[in-house]
Structure 1
Amino acid sequence: MIVFQLSCSIFISLVSRFRAGLKAEIGVFFPMIVLRVLENVAQPNFQQKMIVLRFLDKLCLDSQTLVDIFINYDCDVNSSNIFERMVNGLLKTAQGVPPGVATTLLPPQEATMKLEAMRCLVAILRSMGDWMNKQLRIPDPYSTKRFEDVENSPEPGNVPMAILNGDEPAEGSDSHSEASNEASDVLTIEQRRAYKLELQEGISLFNRKPKKGIEFLIKANKVGDSPEEIAAFLKNASDLNKTLIGDYLGEREDLSLKVMHAYVDSFDFQGMEFDEAIRAFLQGFRLPGEAQKIDRIMEKFAERYCKCNPKAFTSADTAYVLAYSVIMLNTDSHNPMVKNKMSADDFIRNNRGIDDGKDLPEEYLRSLFERISRNEIKMKEDDLSLHQKQSVNSNRILGLDNILNIVIRKRDEDQHMETSDDLIRHMQEQFKEKARKSKSVYYAATDVVILRFMIEVCWAPMLAAFSVPLDQSDDEVVITLCLEGFRYAIHVTAVMSMKTHRDAFVTSLAKFTSLHSPADIKQKNIYAIKAIVTIADEDGNYLREAWEHILTCVSRFEHLHLLGEGAPPDATFFAFPQDESEKSKQAKSTNLPVLNKKGPGKIQYAAASVMRGSYDGAGIGGNSAGAVTSEQVDNLVSNLNMLEQVGSSEMNRIFTRSQKLNSEAIIDFVKALCKVSMEELRSTSDPRVFSLTKIVEIA
């Protein structure tokens, strides 16, 4: 365990040295680290799983590495989507074991893993934000001198827009030619990513309806329309359902038949033993269940084998019958449902006279029988032993199959690895071989546009990972992590001008303030209000239309805060008395009370104000027609008192610091404030002038 932890540290320190090398070098070292946790692959224990999660957390400390992994794997058609699998795996782990599913984890262990997975998700967003800030030279949002020095730095709201839109580089940047090359690289990566997404869409369709999938891929120019090109795709593409490949190859339609012939003809069986050729042939697909489909495929296989080995049998018919016999033997020998197993003599007897009426040599058939009985013919996907499959099932429940197997490929069972070092060397050889074949180049990310693709991949899982615990949990550690996640997500999506994604996080966070439902306010809602203030403070230059959600929260907060202080609502000042006596009463009643003076009467008045629907129609207990009960009043008083943890001064800071916003942001800010003001004035039950007053102040 200690060795693994040290390996993690070594990996993180070494990975930055591969910025200009082959991307496969990362692939060589990554399995070394992860495999240390898999000394016993069948049953990775709780400590090992935790180390993997902590390793991923540490990996995010190097923000460049995280973005580079996305470019070099998720944007490469020939590589796995490491970043996407990692995020989805962490989401599953953060959600925990579904109800009713058995697990070996104790409740405290599961809670710890869920927390660590959420911490990793937050670390990913923080890492993306740090990398973006460095690329765009955005000041550290946590610096106390941020607002004092803002005049001396480039307007942060303008920098990203210029870069994101591919405009001229800012002063002090690289030369025009370098910027042009960088834009070209970004365009190439963008095209590769788009190509891969469309290819994956076609693969997904193939795995549901093979014919439709092939048609889609041909129309999308991802696969050529010739049988040879389709066959090559079926043979080489990853993530295709092997059973459906077999079904497609066994179809009797003209195109499928031609593709099957091209598929079989792509194999070179020269010099192979008969069973060895069958093994190689059946590595890439599963034989279909229909006898007619099997018949068509094996007939073509026999023809191809005899063409590659013209002296092996008298005719292709011999190879065809023997192939069927070998498949039957394989099923008989290795299917646990078969009670009475075939003997060698039975196998020899079943194959008498198949060579144009003659018998094949008994020694040949007996040797063939022994090899098949000892070593099952199966696809690569079947190489996991039952021992390993059990661990995969348990890991899949928590999403750890997406984490533990980020780069690792399932190893061939034929190769007996005595130690983990043997396995590591084997993995290194595999990755080096892949590097030699693909000649892939390692891309070092430099343009923030890449973050758009990363956000597209991770925003929905992130939103779910933070929203559900924030809604269901009252644990302060969990709440703090969720709010951190929201803050980083809003920062990245806002700076990147991704409106839909930004608004999804902002509106969700605004909902969690519970300001629209004061009777439900809890301590975690106060934390959410503070997070809203912090976001307005730090990311005001990038919020654009989202300012409306922020300012709506401010308006609601101020309304509740004044009610809690016992101040009369603004509607009092909109009343017009009909005679002199009413004017006299009105003059007396409009004298503002001492706001910090509380009393049962004022509290009851505040409760009644909320009760009668003066605050967005939100009652304090659902009893809108009846009197306010003492229990409801006590609950409301407690909730309104909690608002003092925020204080009006913090809210007012949003307006006082609006003068620090850049030229575009101040326009967005005022437009949003006007919209909120209109909503306040249009209220039929309780019109207000709070936002209107703020417009006058900041003007």
Structure 2
Amino acid sequence: MGDNNIKSELMWSQLVHAEIIAVTSAMRKNARWSGMGVRGINMGNLGMNMGLRKKVNAKDPNARHEENPLMEAFANLKTYLDTVQDVRDVDALLLLNPFLEVIRSGNTTGPIAGTALSSVEKFLHYGIVGLNNPNAAYAMNALSSAATHCKFEASDIASDELVLLRMLQVLQAALTSECGQILSDEAVCEMMETGLSMCCQMRLSEMLRRSAEHVMINMVTAIFERLKMLDDDWFYIESQTDTGDENVREAPHMSTPKPSPSPVLETNIPESPSNDIAVNQSDATVQAAPEQPTIEGCPSGEPTVEKPVAEQPIIEQRSIEHPVIELSTPEDANNDALVESEQEKQDVSGSKQTETTRNIKGDPLRPYGVPAIRELLRVLISLLNPHEHKHTDSMRVMALSILNVAFEVGGRSIGKFEALRSLVVDDFCKYLFQLAKTDTTPLLTLTLRVISTVFDTMRPCLKLQHELFLFFLIERLSFATGIESRGATVDIGEDGHISFVAPQRVLDTRGGHVDVRGGSPNMFLGRQNDYMTVSGEVCELLMECLVQCSRTPTFLVDLWYNYDCDPSCGDLAEELVQFLSANSFPDPHTYSFTNIHVLCFDTLLMFINRMVDSVSIEGYDDEEYEGLTPSKELLDRKARKRLILEGSTLFNESPKKGIAFLEGVGIIEPDENGDNVPSLAEFLRSTQQLNKKILGEYLGKPENLKLLKEFMRQFEFEGKPIHEALRSVLETFRLPGESQQIMRVTDTFAEIYYEANTEEIANPIAAQVLAYSIIMLNTDQHNPQIRRRMSLEDYMRNLRGVNDNKDFSEGYLKDIYEAIRHDEIVMPEEHEGRLGFNYAWKQLLYRSNASGHFVVCDTASYNKDIFELTWKSIVAAISYAFNTAQDDATLQKAISGFHHCALLSSHFGLHDVFDSIVINLATMTGLLEKAGNTSSLPDPIVDVAGQKYVISNLAIRFGRDYKGQLAAVVMFAIVTRHGNSLRSGWTKILQIIRNLFVNSLLPSSMLQVEDFVSGTTSIPLKPKNPTPSRQQNRRDGSILSTLSAYLLSPYTNDETYRPDPTEEEVESTMCAVDCVVACRLEELFADISSGGLAIEPMQALMTAIQTVGYDKTVIENATSPVPYDPATVLFLEFMITTVSRNTGKIQSLWPYATVYMFGILENAEKQSVLVVERAVVGLLRLCICVATEDTMHDEILHCLRLLRDFPPSVTQAVAEQMMAGIFTLSNVNSAKLNDTEFINIILEIKQKVASSL
């Protein structure tokens, strides 16, 4: 009992006897069995078995058996159970047989059948029937057959449906229990058919149909979980044949739904007034019921041929007094896979076996596997066909629900089996994509969910299908939101500022249009009515599906690797990022109630976050994975792809120009004989972006006959019927319109085809005529303007004597005729809608054979290339989101996006990207714009908490700009952390520093300068000598002017008046001051001064100081002294401090510092004395720093000569500071500074200073 794992604490025999009593008690409540017992039923059999003679006139002992077979079966079971001690020795078939007979019998009532079903379910749940019991496999298959052919007398609808629900529970228990794995393929098909039938029967209550769907989902879960345990793909055949191979089995078949009701409830009612009402109701219900899936047949019998709805009998008269509910398939009840003969066998007690167990122990039963799963999958997929109008949307929703569970459980396992994979790759995906164009919300919701599940589990097998669907989502969402992704551009200004440019939406047309995105078919096929505006709900569903697909960790990398770097596919990753970027902000001209823009922005940030996560894993981005193509080779492919697309575009404009371009860039190359025709033919055959009409015209030209022949040789014609070969050719280009060109194409085709196929065709001329006739037949059969269509006899008559004065075989021409009649040869760009999509789908399936599998790239090796490709769109979207955000959550997302993009650009060494990020943030701060004082009076100063603050216009404006303050904090935090990545962006940083400084917003510690005389001082904002006061008013003014000046209000046009700052202005200034403190500028410049930057970014900083510090051209062209600019001194001091503290880099930085100072000192007479003085101090400080460096001796002498050659007025103004610095320099202990030249220059300077005083 241990092996069977009995779950009950009662003895197994007690449980079985209790269930026997329960069923027989329910039976005795019925008038049929109320007075019957089991005694004497088999009287006389024992004597005959012992050799006694049967009485001649005795009553047949089996007579009562015929009257009461069900009761006898239970009596025999009791007798059998007395002979068994261990539950593991119980014959499962003998144990279940009496209960199954009750279930199958039409003489029982619903409560009796329900009780028997409950008993069987309990045996399965408690483990009384287990894998180790004798005949367990036969018992389980008998259980399946009995449950799916359950019959009982009808009563009220609620009670009957309760029995049907219990039957469903038994099917579920049988399939999901441990014994379910030994069911046969046929049994599983029957069980699944029964469940599908009840799901589709609209006459049943909503509760029962939903319960049936729930049971189906549980059963499908168990079935598809089994795929994980199957090691290989079973071979199976479509018809029963003797192959001698034990691995080959006959495939079970399940038919797709049919228009006939195929009732689950078969009511058999005698004539009575009351029953007539039930009949009419049932009949009306059946007529309205939709079709249901049924099994066509099992190996042991022929399929039942169903009658049309109007003729199918609904009510079958029987010689009983009550209606009978029969749950069965349309096939004959005796058509049971387990019944192999009509011969009856005696059981262990001497009684005869019933129908359920007749000769059931034949050949060993195979456990179900791929054949049953394939049939189930095929039927479920067939229910999705959107062009099958007999299938309702409710049926499709039901099938989608079941299929979604199937792929959630076993999607990856499905991909391992060709028999299952072929269904998914073709019909399943095709139907799903067609359903995805619906606007019915419930159907669309489930369709998109199934698509996401399929791609998540089977993406390696669905490369081109995945591409097609993603392009479909992008295009439909693009036109729904008003922004087409392929036209979206990101503009980068000369200063590095990024902005998004939304294009005009242009609808593609079929005339000459080439989709440069790649070779994937367009699900819209160029019809403008397919671009109709979709509802917000549908649009959001599509967007949610796109986001769901994007949640795969390697999604963006996978797209770039598999599509963008594949010449035959579109730039899917690039277009997706452009689409998400373009839709990350709402259209300013429309108002949207959906959150599509939020989803787009979040998806972009998700891509960036994944890259950042990979950076945080040390060494992850450097890890190489076996089987993946190196990044350099992928970039070469992408470059080649771009050339092919450019050449294709030129070819569509002018074939001659296109071919010349392709030859020039090496796409079309000559062979060893110098012939480029083979390479050109291969290009024309394999390139999907070529305009099919232009290609056909080019191939049809007489001068291109050699190319046409080589083009035809690109096809594999051997063993292929001529109509299929011609179809494959004509689907690659549009047949020219001129008859001569058509003949040239068909003749060339026939010549090449005849070289590979000579069985049915006598000579090339016959092939030519036959090929041309196929084209004419195609036009005749499918041109809507032709009323009288050619018959098979007409077609055969037209081809008499063509095959070398003989006729083609009748079967050969019939196959051609039927193939063309049922399946039109669709010329490229000739049809739209369903035919056009089918053509495009065929092209996709053809390309999928050469495209290979989808490769999952769990590596960060390609992140740099992807980020470099997409950063413009991403940063533009983040910038726009930051500028237009209305809440802190969006601002936080944008700030995180800036931080992550900066980290990635720094990590990958993409300095231009980092510069653009900093420049964008600098622009957002508003601190690049000067906000000067319009009044001649200085800015007012207020005292707040003992500190004095200048209330400037810039401080007020900046303090009011919340986003500007955030941008400033983010920008300086990024620069502080990744300063080594900044190049041209230093200019914007210094411009902001300049504006902060002149508006007294910089921290006081940054204004300190070193002085040879006074030590440490602060940079003054005003020159030492104040400018003269304004000229006093004329004293000789008239009395009238005096009175006017006295009487006029001081507020009227008086530039000398400035009102006191308001509280709001003071508060705004304090906000600006706090923001500058939060920017932590002291830390940034302290880190720079202490050597935190490498040589290259330090040189970039020096260049920026030269640009921002002062304009040398203005100084040189000035005719009068240039006004004092404190910013010039600020940047001078910053440069001197930085260079002097980075002595290890001083030789690299010296040229930048001296150029800056020489520009001031060489025009010293035009400069403010304070500026010149600070330049002299700075120059001498640098000389002191390098005095011990022998290599810098000449540079020091050059600097001293400059000081020596000052004009006397300049020498007099800076004499004190200059002599103090020279004194310090002279005290440096250096042998080089004691040479004659140095001493002479020092003496000359002293003499000049003395003479100037």
TM range (shorter): 0.5 to 0.7
CA 1:46–1:387: 2 relative to 1, 3 Å:
farther
Which residue matches 2:667? 222
Which residue matches 1:493? 905
Amino acid at match of 2:1085: F
CA 1:91–1:293: 2 relative to 1, 3 Å:
farther
Deviation track 1:83-129 (CA, whole Å, cap 9, x = no partner) reads 334323434544668979xxxxx9222xx122211222222233334
SS in structure 2 at match of 1:231? helix
Asked if structure 2 preserves the Cα contact closer than 8 Å seen for 1:681 and 1:687, the reply is no
Shift of 1:278: 1.5
Match of 2:1125 among 672, 687, 693: 687
Q: Distance in 2 between matches of 1:463 and 1:7?
A: 38
Shift of 1:262: 0.5
Q: Does 1:121 align with 2:592?
A: no
Asked if structure 2 preserves the Cα contact closer than 8 Å seen for 1:530 and 1:646, the reply is yes
CA 1:329–1:469: 2 relative to 1, 3 Å:
farther
Which residue matches 1:510? 922
Shift of 1:484: 3.7
Q: Distance in 2 between matches of 1:265 and 1:439?
A: 26
Q: Distance in 1 between matches of 2:1059 and 2:408?
A: 60
Q: Distance in 1 between matches of 2:899 and 2:691?
A: 40
Amino acid at match of 1:213: G
CA 1:278–1:628: 2 relative to 1, 3 Å:
farther
Shift of 1:691: 3.7
Q: Distance in 2 between matches of 1:114 and 1:439?
A: 33
| Structure richer in helix, relative to its length | 1
Which residue matches 2:943? none
Asked if structure 1 preserves the Cα contact closer than 8 Å seen for 2:916 and 2:985, the reply is no
Asked if structure 2 preserves the Cα contact closer than 8 Å seen for 1:125 and 1:489, the reply is yes
Which residue matches 2:136? none
Larger relative contact order (CA 8 Å, sep ≥ 6)? 1
Amino acid at match of 2:580: L
Deviation track 1:350-392 (CA, whole Å, cap 9, x = no partner) reads 94678389887787666544432321212688898549979xx
Q: Does 1:107 align with 2:599?
A: no
TM-score normalised according to structure 2 size: 0.37
CA 1:345–1:186: 2 relative to 1, 3 Å:
closer
Q: Distance in 1 between matches of 2:617 and 2:649?
A: 37
Asked if structure 2 preserves the Cα contact closer than 8 Å seen for 1:8 and 1:33, the reply is no
Shift of 1:228: 1.9
CA 1:287–1:267: 2 relative to 1, 3 Å:
same
Asked if structure 1 preserves the Cα contact closer than 8 Å seen for 2:1001 and 2:1073, the reply is no
Q: Does 1:88 align with 2:571?
A: no
Which residue matches 1:620? none
Q: Does 1:309 align with 2:748?
A: no
Which residue matches 1:577? 1027
Which residue matches 1:342? 789
Deviation track 1:390-448 (CA, whole Å, cap 9, x = no partner) reads 9xxxxxxxxxxxxxxxxxx974499xxxxxxxxxxxx9x997x668xx6999877565x
Deviation track 1:165-214 (CA, whole Å, cap 9, x = no partner) reads xxxxxxxxx9xxx99x9999555455444444444443444444433333
Amino acid at match of 1:27: P
**1:594-633 equivalence runs, <5 A:** none
**1:387-466 equivalence runs, <5 A:** 411-412=841-842, 445=859, 450-466=862-878
Moved more, 238-247 or 526-535: 238-247
Q: Distance in 2 between matches of 1:629 and 1:580?
A: 20
Q: Distance in 1 between matches of 2:788 and 2:871?
A: 55
Amino acid at match of 2:551: K
Q: Distance in 1 between matches of 2:1091 and 2:1114?
A: 30
Amino acid at match of 2:927: L
Asked if structure 1 preserves the Cα contact closer than 8 Å seen for 2:731 and 2:828, the reply is yes
Amino acid at match of 1:675: T
Q: Distance in 2 between matches of 1:183 and 1:271?
A: 37
CA 1:331–1:522: 2 relative to 1, 3 Å:
farther
Asked if structure 2 preserves the Cα contact closer than 8 Å seen for 1:384 and 1:413, the reply is no
SS in structure 2 at match of 1:294? helix
Amino acid at match of 1:83: A
CA 1:206–1:316: 2 relative to 1, 3 Å:
same
Q: Does 1:248 align with 2:741?
A: no
Asked if structure 2 preserves the Cα contact closer than 8 Å seen for 1:71 and 1:445, the reply is no
Amino acid at match of 1:108: F
**1:173-572 equivalence runs, <5 A:** 185=630, 187-225=632-670, 226-253=676-703, 256-310=704-758, 312-313=760-761, 316-331=764-779, 333-334=781-782, 338=785, 340=787, 342-344=789-791, 348=795, 351=798, 355=802, 368-378=816-826, 385-386=833-834, 411-412=841-842, 445=859, 450-470=862-882, 474=886, 476-517=888-929, 522-559=961-998, 562=1001, 572=1022
Q: Distance in 1 between matches of 2:1025 and 2:789?
A: 99
CA 1:354–1:388: 2 relative to 1, 3 Å:
closer
Q: Does 1:678 align with 2:1110?
A: yes
Asked if structure 2 preserves the Cα contact closer than 8 Å seen for 1:383 and 1:413, the reply is no
Amino acid at match of 1:655: F
Q: Distance in 2 between matches of 1:98 and 1:239?
A: 35
CA 1:4–1:96: 2 relative to 1, 3 Å:
farther
CA 1:389–1:374: 2 relative to 1, 3 Å:
closer
SS in structure 1 at match of 2:926? coil
Q: Distance in 1 between matches of 2:596 and 2:724?
A: 45
CA 1:209–1:116: 2 relative to 1, 3 Å:
farther
Deviation track 1:1-21 (CA, whole Å, cap 9, x = no partner) reads 999799899999xxxxxxxxx
Q: Distance in 1 between matches of 2:710 and 2:832?
A: 30
Q: Distance in 1 between matches of 2:719 and 2:629?
A: 48
Which residue matches 1:49? 542
Shift of 1:296: 2.4
Q: Distance in 2 between matches of 1:285 and 1:535?
A: 55
Moved more, 530-539 or 368-377: 368-377
Asked if structure 1 preserves the Cα contact closer than 8 Å seen for 2:550 and 2:556, the reply is no
**1:22-171 equivalence runs, <5 A:** 27-28=460-461, 45-46=538-539, 48-60=541-553, 66-67=556-557, 70-71=560-561, 73-77=563-567, 81-94=571-584, 107-109=592-594, 112-132=595-615, 134=617
Q: Distance in 2 between matches of 1:259 and 1:135?
A: 55
Larger Rg: 2
Q: Distance in 1 between matches of 2:914 and 2:1114?
A: 28
SS in structure 2 at match of 1:506? helix
Structure 2 alignment gaps of length 5 or more: 1-399, 413-456, 474-522, 525-533, 671-675, 932-956, 1005-1018, 1033-1049, 1116-1121, 1141-1253
Q: Distance in 2 between matches of 1:441 and 1:290?
A: 45
Deviation track 1:308-327 (CA, whole Å, cap 9, x = no partner) reads 33454565455445544433
Q: Distance in 1 between matches of 2:761 and 2:1133?
A: 97
Amino acid at match of 2:791: A
CA 1:348–1:335: 2 relative to 1, 3 Å:
closer
Q: Does 1:655 align with 2:1138?
A: no
SS in structure 2 at match of 1:455? helix
Q: Distance in 1 between matches of 2:541 and 2:830?
A: 25
CA 1:381–1:475: 2 relative to 1, 3 Å:
farther
SS in structure 2 at match of 1:577? coil
Deviation track 1:442-480 (CA, whole Å, cap 9, x = no partner) reads 877565xx4453234213332443445555565655454
Q: Distance in 2 between matches of 1:560 and 1:5?
A: 67
Q: Distance in 2 between matches of 1:686 and 1:340?
A: 96
Q: Distance in 2 between matches of 1:300 and 1:685?
A: 87
Q: Distance in 1 between matches of 2:410 and 2:1075?
A: 44
